[in-house]
């Protein structure tokens, strides 16, 4: 599943100011002109004393002079010599000097007697230079403002273009992703393939008296491939594809979002048949007037305009609108009615078979060792999305490179999975021997109960390596995908969660804070069993808390409670009863398997990590010997 970057159309890309000669040639010429004006005209002349100048005149070595006020400049017939430093002399032919403040009445007569050509110039006005120097900072500031304004306008940010659509248009040549690059989500791909065929051959459906679906909503967990499916549609459709995110419609000015929606649909109608893709539409399509304090004027006006464009008074033919969201529960109900978003495609988390196909795509450009089993990896990553799998393989590649290996080995993938699921190792953490022993017995309690109970998932690994999210972990992965969970399975899960606390109580006669997450998770699971699934003795036929939770603050204030105080108390009693029974079952298993608990804890203290196969083999071997 290659997640290619979208490439904007050349007409949509911002101009590169460095490659545009008009943006830098004129400022450069102005800068050169200013520098030339500020450079003194006499920078090549040598300044000499008035006495030395009189000596050159008397020796008939001056060809011509120019008199400008009290400044005298000229040219010698033969080069003169001036000492600059000790032991260093320079020769010059052009010179300049200044008349004494008391004047020299004999100078003009001396110049005439020596036949020196005399030129005169009016005295220069110093206010011109003062003006240039004073206005230079202002000119520089104006130049910077002009350059920034040009850059702002080149990126479509002019004040008169604030309502312009921010969507980028793509064609098939710019998007390389196809449906072959998307693994899993077969139902969604089939629905989208039909839309692509409708756009390519609209007469096929019109001959049947049907209409092309106006809107398609992709909903699902983050990372399941909703945007990737949209890219595949862009690569397969062969029609103009406009892509934009929901936040691109919103601005600080009320009415800008609605104007951008109108411009977007106008551009799409000009290119019809075409597709509009709005990613993260929940940014503008939240339920109107929900919660305390009313709504958001700009967002609601934008949503109203979008609803009108989808199914309003004006016809909207041959333009299909696709959208993606992680939160379909907070969208406005008017958005999902027939005639607007006709199809809702739920992109679920991939199954085991889907994960194996996704891994096959992601390992195309990776060098894998012979010990890497993608089928086992797919089984050992339940609940992982496509983005999670891609991140896992990338972390494995980084770990292999860190250890200077040329291929990715299975241990790299195992370490990457632990890193993704439980966080980084805490290398600087030093536990005492007593703390390490407590953690070893705690995790051994989970593992022994998980391996002994019949309806529990198989133990994959037991570890006491400290990580950012836990001091240790017991990993259990199902043998196959499950979609319906039996009560026996849930009860065994509760018992496994209580296994760590039971081991602490039995061995050390105390309780530790290491069971905090176990107790929280077990309480949530037991409450769901009572409130939603009818898995308790007192509430077999009702779901006291099965109603959907309100998303917006304030919506619950106007609703009455559906259960009484007495029922709520009975629910708490049932939850407590389930947890107590789970604790007793786990304690019974640990007391019966105390020998295995001690042996596994010793092995963990020595090796820090034990494979699940060793735990199951240990219990099976002892069971066979006892028989």
Residues with active-site annotation: 443
Buried b / exposed e along 473-503 (16+ C-beta atoms within 10 A) = bbbbeeeeeeeeeeeebbbbbbbbbbbbbbb
Between strands 343-347 and 319-325, the pairing is unpaired
Which residues 6+ apart lie within 8 Å of 572 measured at CB? none
Tokens of 260: 């951008």
Cα separation, 471 vs 487, in Å, equals 30
Between CA 62 and CA 66 the distance in angstroms is: 11
Contacts by 64-67, CB closer than 8 A, 24 or more apart: 64/116, 64/117, 64/118, 64/119, 65/111, 65/116, 65/117, 65/118, 65/119, 66/119, 66/120, 66/121, 67/118, 67/119, 67/120, 67/121
Q: Exposed e or buried b for every residue in 176-188, given b needs 16+ CB within 10 A? A: ebbbebbbbbeeb
Report the alpha-carbon distance of residue 103 to residue 101 in Å, rounded: 5
Rounded distance between C-alpha atoms, residue 489 and residue 476, angstroms: 13
- Cα-based torsion angle of the residue sequence 270, 275, 279, 282 in order, rounded to the nearest 10 degrees: 80
Both tokens assigned to 268: 């799409």
């Amino acid at each position: 599943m290659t997640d290619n970057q979208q490439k904007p159309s050349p007409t949509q890309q911002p101009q590169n100011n460095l490659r545009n000669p008009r943006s830098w040639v004129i400022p450069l010429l102005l800068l050169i002109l200013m520098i030339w004006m500020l450079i003194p005209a006499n920078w090549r002349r040598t300044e000499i004393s008035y006495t030395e100048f009189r000596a050159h005149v008397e020796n008939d070595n001056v060809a011509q002079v120019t008199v400008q006020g009290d400044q005298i400049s000229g040219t010698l017939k033969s080069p003169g010599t001036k000492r600059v430093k000790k032991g260093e002399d320079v020769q010059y032919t052009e010179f300049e000097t200044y008349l004494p403040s008391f004047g020299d009445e004999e100078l003009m007569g001396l110049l005439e007697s020596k036949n020196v050509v005399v030129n005169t110039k009016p005295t220069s006005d110093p206010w011109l230079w003062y003006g240039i120097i004073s206005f230079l900072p202002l000119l520089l500031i104006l130049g910077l403002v002009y350059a920034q304004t040009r850059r702002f306008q080149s990126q479509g940010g002019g004040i008169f273009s604030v309502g312009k659509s921010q969507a980028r248009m793509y064609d098939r040549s710019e998007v390389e992703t196809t449906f072959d690059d998307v693994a899993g989500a077969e139902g969604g791909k089939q629905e989208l393939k039909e839309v692509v065929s409708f756009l390519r051959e609209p007469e096929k459906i019109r001959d049947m008296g049907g209409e092309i679906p106006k809107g398609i909503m992709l909903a699902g967990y983050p990372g399941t491939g909703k945007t990737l499916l949209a890219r595949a549609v862009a690569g397969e459709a062969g029609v103009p594809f406009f892509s934009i995110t929901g936040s691109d419609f919103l601005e600080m000015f009320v009415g800008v979002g609605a104007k951008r929606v109108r411009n977007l649909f106008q551009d799409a109608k000009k290119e019809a048949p075409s597709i509009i893709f709005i990613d993260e539409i929940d940014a503008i399509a939240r339920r109107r007037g929900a919660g305390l304090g009313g709504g958001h004027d700009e967002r609601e006006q934008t949503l109203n305009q979008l609803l009108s464009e989808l199914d309003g008074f004006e016809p909207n033919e041959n333009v299909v609108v696709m959208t993606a969201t992680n939160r379909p529960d907070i969208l406005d109900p008017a958005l999902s009615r027939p005639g607007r978003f006709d199809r809702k495609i739920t992109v679920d988390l991939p199954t085991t078979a889907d994960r194996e196909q996704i891994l096959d795509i992601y390992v195309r450009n990776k060098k894998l060792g012979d010990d890497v089993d993608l089928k086992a990896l797919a089984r050992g990553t339940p609940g992982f999305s496509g983005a999670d799998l891609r991140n896992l393989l990338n972390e494995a590649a980084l770990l292999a490179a860190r250890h200077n290996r040329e291929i990715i080995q299975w241990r790299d993938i195992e370490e990457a999975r632990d890193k993704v699921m439980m966080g980084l190792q805490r290398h600087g953490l030093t536990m005492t021997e007593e703390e390490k022993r407590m953690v070893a017995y705690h995790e051994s309690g989970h593992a022994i109960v998980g391996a002994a109970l019949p309806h529990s998932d198989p133990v994959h690994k037991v570890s006491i390596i400290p990580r950012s999210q836990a001091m240790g972990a017991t990993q259990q992965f199902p043998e196959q995908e499950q979609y319906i969970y039996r009560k026996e399975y849930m009860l065994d899960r509760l018992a496994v969660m209580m296994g760590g606390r039971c081991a602490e109580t039995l061995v050390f006669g105390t309780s530790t804070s290491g069971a905090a997450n176990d107790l929280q998770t077990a309480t949530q699971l037991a409450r769901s069993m009572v409130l939603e699934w009818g898995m308790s003795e007192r509430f077999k036929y009702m779901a006291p808390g099965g109603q959907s939770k309100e998303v917006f603050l304030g919506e619950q204030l106007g609703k009455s409670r559906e259960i009484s105080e007495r029922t709520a108390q009975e629910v708490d009693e049932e939850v407590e009863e389930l947890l107590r029974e789970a604790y007793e079952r786990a304690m019974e298993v640990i007391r019966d398997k105390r020998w295995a608990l001690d042996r596994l804890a010793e092995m963990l203290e020595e090796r820090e990590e034990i494979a699940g196969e060793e735990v199951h083999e240990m219990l099976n071997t002892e069971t066979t010997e006892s028989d």
